[in-house]
Amino acid sequence: MAGRKNNPAPEPDPQGGNPDSGSGSERDPRAGGIPNGGTLGGAGTLAEWLTNGGEACDVVLSSRVRLARNLAGHLFVHRAAKDERERVLQTCRDWILGANVCDRIMWVDLHESPQLDRNLLVERHLISKQHAKGKPAGSGGAVSPAADEPRAVAISIPDERLSIMVNEEDHLRIQMMHAGLSLEECWKHVSAIDDKLEAGLDYAFSPKLGYLTACPTNVGTGMRMSVMLHLPALKVTGEIEKVKRAATDMNLAVRGFYGEGSDAIGDLYQISNQTTLGKPEGAVLTELQDSIIPEVIQYERHARNTLLSKRRAALDDQVFRALGALTHARLIAADEAMQLLSLVRLGVVLGIIPNLSVQAVNTLFLLVQPAHLQRVLGKEMDQEHRRIGRAAMIRERLTK
């Protein structure tokens, strides 16, 4: 467990952090502020984790480090009255936008944002589903509607590497996400940002236990490290359950595309540490970055080689059937599209499908999701019309 950091407080940068200054920060509490086409940071840009960069990017889409922090002298979010949560929100907003945590930062007041915008942020892994919905909390015997829950997120743009959720389960959830296997880089960046925030925010900290959090499982370092892995070959060969059991035996969490409580659609799995108390950040980092994740990567690559050498005809058939379905379907649901795209991505990585980039497939993983699809097509649609629009969008992008 790391001790509390004691750093001199930097002066907030009025040019980089004052939301009224016109530079450095951008405030967007309403519809229309998140650009169309799945490009949150601006036209023609992509979230960094979609670019198929970084180490072991054939298997690892992204690495993430998240820190849970709370402010001293304030009740945890689920116990605080609405006015106290509003004070926490304002305190965090003022310091986050003034602490120069990144070159450009966008602030989104989620309680003032339309549902489509909030869903878009969930799909981009910038906020949790819980944060998007707004968990009702008791206030003097009354329960305030979820839409009124004071909560926000700060996002670095255009790379979307950094997101800071305010008033989620904890007062602050600080997240850094990079492409490929890059946990060490994520940790260095998020730790530096945590230092800047702690210089101006008084964190709840116990010399004995470490950082205090709403959930006991996060007490201590308050840190979660995770990687998102694409493991289609292990699924095809029937080895994925062995990997999941082994991870569980090592006290690791194995979750789906959207983390806790989600399914592994598209053969995408998140593996993360579960221990935060009594285990230093460096030990968790070394264990995941240098030992456990490389082993899973090797298992997946071995399974891919086995398919190529011993089951090539069957593999080619699965890959091209998936591509054929995607390029000819007239109706398709998100989960089905994800599963077919998983096989297509495998085919691209292994050189079976020429003239299609991994980045294009990674981007489609995102654009087939309901909120992104509606933004791409420029209108809100019911489920049946989304299935029609999704199929047309996929056909256009895979055949152009």
What digits encode the pLDDT tens for the residues 51-95? 888 999 999 999 999 999 999 999 999 999 999 999 999 999 999
Q: Rounded distance, CA 47 to CA 39, Å?
A: 7
Q: What is the mean pLDDT of residues 329-352?
A: 97
Residue at 204 is within a domain? yes
Residue at 49 is within a domain? yes
Give the pLDDT score at 28.
Answer: 44
Show the domain range for 337.
311-399
Q: What is the mean pLDDT of residues 159-181?
A: 97
Give the pLDDT score at 3.
Answer: 53
Supply the mean pLDDT for the chain. 86
Give the pLDDT score at 316.
Answer: 98
Q: What is the mean pLDDT of residues 12-40?
A: 40
pLDDT band at 343 (very low <50, low <70, confident <90, very high): very high
Global pTM value: 0.86
Residue at 269 is within a domain? no
Q: Are residues 357 and 224 in the same domain?
A: no
Residue at 335 is within a domain? yes
Q: What is the mean pLDDT of residues 244-268?
A: 80
Give the pLDDT score at 282.
Answer: 87
Determine phi and psi for 188, rounding to 5 degrees: -60, -45
Give the pLDDT score at 66.
Answer: 96
Among 202, 228, 254, the domain boundary falls at 228
Q: Are residues 327 and 201 in the same domain?
A: no
Sequence-ordered list of residues with C-beta below 8 angstroms from that of 227, at least 6 positions apart, any chain? 60, 62, 63, 64, 181, 183, 270, 271, 272, 288, 293
Min mean pLDDT across 263-277, 282-296, 337-351 is at 263-277
pLDDT band at 278 (very low <50, low <70, confident <90, very high): low
Q: Rounded distance, CA 291 to CA 225, Å?
A: 14
Q: Are residues 67 and 203 in the same domain?
A: yes
Q: Are residues 344 and 208 in the same domain?
A: no
Q: Are residues 222 and 114 in the same domain?
A: yes
- Number of folded domains in the chain? 2
> Which residue's structure tokens are 């120069």?
100
Q: Are residues 315 and 201 in the same domain?
A: no
Q: Are residues 218 and 319 in the same domain?
A: no
Among 228, 248, 269, the domain boundary falls at 228
Give the pLDDT score at 381.
Answer: 96
pLDDT > 50? residue 345: yes
pLDDT band at 8 (very low <50, low <70, confident <90, very high): very low
pLDDT band at 330 (very low <50, low <70, confident <90, very high): very high
Among 165, 197, 228, the domain boundary falls at 228
Q: Are residues 39 and 178 in the same domain?
A: yes
Segment 120-146, tens digit of pLDDT: 999 999 999 999 998 654 444 344 556
Min mean pLDDT across 139-143, 180-184, 256-260, 343-347 is at 139-143
pLDDT band at 45 (very low <50, low <70, confident <90, very high): low
Q: Are residues 221 and 340 in the same domain?
A: no
Residue at 224 is within a domain? yes
> Which residue's structure tokens are 């420029």?
378
Residue at 302 is within a domain? no
pLDDT > 50? residue 314: yes
Q: Are residues 99 and 207 in the same domain?
A: yes
Give the pLDDT score at 320.
Answer: 98
Q: Are residues 165 and 51 in the same domain?
A: yes
Distance from the Cα of residue 362 to its chain's centroid = 14
Residue at 368 is within a domain? yes
Give the pLDDT score at 40.
Answer: 55
Q: Are residues 215 and 358 in the same domain?
A: no
Residue at 280 is within a domain? no
